[in-house]
Structure 1
Amino acid sequence: MNASLREFVEQLPIADVHEHHLPEVIHQRDVNLLQLLQQSYAGWALSRPYCLPSESRDADPMLAGVGPTTWESLTPFLDDSGSTFFVRNIVRAVLELHGGGAAEITRDNWQEIDASVQAAHRRPEWQREVLNRARVTSVITDAYNDPLLDPRPTLGDNYRSVMRINSFALGWHPSSHDHNENRAHEALARVGLRAESFDEYLTALEALVAGMAARGQVALKNALAYDRDVNFDEPNEALARAAWGNAAPSAAERKAFSDFIVDHLCRIAAEHDVPVQVHLGTGIIRGSHPLGIAGLVERHPRTRFLLMHLAYPWSRDLLAMAFVYRNIWLDLTWSFLLSPSHFKLALHEAIEVLPNESRMMVGGDNWHVEETYGAMQTVRRLLAETLDEKVAGGYFGPDAARRLARRILHDNARDFFRSP
């Protein structure tokens, strides 16, 4: 690889557009090595990550209790799933931050590494130190358990958040909730809003979006791929209204209600120039194909959509959509943690297909800063390798490669989210 290009990419600042940095996790002082593995994507290697519609949230391996680190508790990650990149990424990050030069976590050194993890997390400055070492200058977090979180008082002035809309799209009754147990009417009450009728609910949502900037929130987040399919049909107001106030509306009424509310929020987002992130790809996988949201994108040409995760495994379909619909941008987050080889192939094609260089940005999508550090190291390496291959093949020159690298890692996010 061209050493100067690699060094250039390694020194670039990163505007991280997607994390799940939760205050109660970031500020937790009792963290061990086993917890870093189990509460990273490595945990998904040991247990199926997504709840089926017939299952409860209790099945999520991220929520399982964590005991003391033992060699026996580590071996399922290191041996049985040791080739999975989710595991390789977090292990590599742990070794760089806690390993003292070790090449692997072994029976002989795991106790020293575990002690280093615990000591680091007892220090309040650890979070900032790791982000600085990763050259992450700003972070957008999705606190999915608190859709109205202002992250600045608890996480720092370099943090902003997104307002996850799942509970609002499912808010036909005070008892209704999303898969994270968020209830729309409770959220509205927290900011002094209430809705006794369907029309009052629509008005309350408009006020909620209008108040986002004051809460440090920079985008809406549609993660409904965890609650239902992403085929958002033409709004059917009569059927949506039929769900209102009903604790157990029919399936057709529930879908019509959430379709209508998502449409309503996309319209409001355009009015306030607030982008809309959409989770695509894995989730309730039968209904998370990116073409499912094509109708929504078409109906809202003034809304800026940030489509996530390269919609794995349907990345080419997503690239085709981003070529046709010019109100689509791509968040490359997570895709490079799932499969580096797939990511590089998709990135090569994205460089060739997307209409301009503003369309791509990156994030970590993690709970703990160690995994965020690993994600940033991984994406730098893969980006440098891909750009080097483009330069070596004569696709463009080194200056164009450096310009694109800076845009993907930092400038595109700054411009897209209207950041200073």
Structure 2
Amino acid sequence: MRQEKSYRQIRNFVDTLPIFSTHEHHQQDEFFTDLSLDKILLNSYVAWCNVPFGDTEKSRAEYLAKVRLNSYFVWLEKSLRELYHVDGKITAQSWDELSNRISTAHAGPGFHLDILRNRCRYEAVVQDSYWDPGSDLGHPDLFKPNFRINMLLFGYHEEAMDHNGNNPLQWYKLKPGSLDDYTEWIRWKIRQQKEAGCVALKSALAYDRMIRYEKVSRADAGRAFGRHPDELRTEEKLAFGDYIFHTICDAAEELDLPFQQHAGLGIIRGSNPMNLEPVIARYPRIRFVLFHGGYPWFHEVGGLAHNYANVYLDLCWLPLISTTAAVSALHEYIEVAQTSDRITWGGDNWTSEESYGAVLAFKYVTSLVLSQKVESGYFDTEDARVFAEGLFYRNARALYGGGAFL
């Protein structure tokens, strides 16, 4: 009963706080003009369950029976029920009515932004438009872009693509005459992106390759330059990528840009965040932001933050992946992070509806963990409130905006 009271007090408090979301893939305005329940589901993490829902009552009922207990679906359903005033669970029978409500709400322009601003209470969003790196979606007051760097590691040939099908030689119409020309352009491009408003670099290379980056000589990296991917051994491609990654790190250090790192889920055999330890140690002035708690390796991420002052812990996506893991991770990160101002959160979603579900999960996790800390005597209610303010917005303001958001 005491913990329930503490939970409610803390939840009431965090409900009043603005949120600085450190990571979203929010879609362009035109995406939302024909939004439906089907389109939301297809552009959500529930789609990663690989279960088709079809267009019949029978196929939808079978779909719901299979995904209903998955964490991605649980929080998306909670969001849809709140936003569109659905009584009870989503069913095959209520599917079309809910879809019509979604379409009607989005018929007017800007409803998707209204959800972000007024329901999610987002004051700012670090936007990762991997389909258009550096874009603020035409709403610079809300979206503060990062610059996705994945494709830069594939600049050895115009037919080498990252996992999103992007290549820098094609995208930017480049024809570098040498590896030195290419690395000089990378440094210029990153500087240009910062001047244009990008607040961080972002690596999602865990979806492309192992996230261990060796220190490679220019000669070894140059063996791949100008050669078709089919002509290269895996080791040669990796050597080129390693060299470029360190070039990017040099630029991040020079320009004082935080470097967001996807760690964990992806090509899982090579995405353990401990692979990043040599780079973290080599560049102590770069603020490395480790995403998703490195799930399933959230203990390892905590260990890195314990040992390295330049490691920042970001819980983005984690409460949706596994709410239980997020609770354990936040308990642990409060205890092991060198300072509590190095813990942040983001939604990591494509639609406003799933972003709101991510907010609900985040508030649940935060309120539960902080109430348990209070009831165990680890800290008091005032400490809990100060920590929550940092987690929700102050820490991210300092990391990505300096005084710009104060």
Fold match by TM threshold 0.5? yes
Partner of 1:173: 157
Q: Distance in 1 between matches of 2:137 and 2:198?
A: 10
Q: Which runs of 5+ in 2 are unaligned?
A: none
SS in 1 for 2:340: coil
CA deviation vs aligned residue, 1:242-292 (integer Å, no higher than 9, x gap): 111111322221111100100110111011011111111010011000111
Partner of 2:387: 404
Mapped partners of 1:332, 1:80: distance in 2: 27
Equivalent residue for 2:322, pick from 317, 339, 348 = 339
* Counterpart Cα distance in 2 of 1:309 and 1:73: 33
Instruction: Give runs of aligned pairs for residues 79-118 of structure 1, distance below 5 A.
Output: 79-98=65-84, 100-118=85-103
Kindly tell me: are residues 201 and 136 of structure 1, through their superposed partners in 2, closer, same or farther at Cα, counting changes over 3 Å?
same
Q: Give the Å deviation of 1:156.
A: 4.4
Displacement of 1:403: 0.5
| Alignment partner, residue 214 of structure 2 | 233
| Corresponding residue of 2:105 | 120
Q: What's 1:301 paired with?
A: 284
1:387 aligned to 358, 370, 377, which one?
370
Which position in structure 2 is the counterpart of 1:39?
A: 43
| Alignment-derived partner of residue 74 in structure 1 | 60
Return the letter of the residue paired with 2:192: G
Which of residues 346, 349, 353 is equivalent to 1:363? 346
CA distance in 2, matches of 1:234, 1:137: 39
Does 1:274 find its partner at 2:257?
A: yes
After alignment, is 353-362 or 106-115 more displaced?
A: 106-115
How much does 1:110 deviate?
2.4
| Contact 1:310 1:330 (C-alpha < 8 Å) held by counterparts | yes
C-alpha distance in 2 between matches for 1:292 and 1:206:
24
Give every structure 1 segment of 4 or more consecutive aligned residues whose post-TM-superposition deviation is greater than 6 Å: none
- Give me the whole-angstrom Cα distance separating, in 2, the residues matched to 1:241 and 1:256: 9
- Sort the Cα spacing of 1:259 and 1:12 in 2 relative to 1 into closer, same or farther, 3 A: same
TM-score (ref. length: structure 1): 0.90
Unaligned runs of 5+ in 1: 48-60
Q: Distance in 2 between matches of 1:186 and 1:217?
A: 22
How far apart are 1:138 and its partner, in Å?
Answer: 0.8
Q: 1:12 and 2:21 equivalent?
A: no
Percentage of matched positions with identical amino acids? 35
Alignment RMSD: 1.7
Q: Does 1:161 align with 2:138?
A: no
1:88 is paired with a residue whose SS is helix
Structure 2 counterpart SS, 1:140: strand
| Corresponding residue of 1:215 | 196
Q: What secondary structure is seen at the aligned counterpart in 1 of 2:286?
A: coil
Aligned length: 395
Secondary structure in structure 2 of the residue aligned to 1:211: helix
1:146 pairs with one of 120, 129, 132: 132
Q: CA deviation at 1:27?
A: 3.6
- Shift in Å at residue 126 of structure 1? 0.7
Corresponding residue to 1:196 among 167, 177, 193: 177
Give the 3 Å change call, closer, same or farther, for CA 129–415 of structure 1 in structure 2: same
Structure 2: distance between partners of 1:278 and 1:359: 15
Secondary structure at the aligned position of 2:23 is classed as strand
CA distance in 1, matches of 2:96, 2:135: 37
Distance in 2 (CA, whole Å) between partners of 1:326 and 1:109 is 51
Instruction: Provide the TM-score with structure 2 as the length reference.
Output: 0.93
Distance 1:120 1:236 in 2: 56
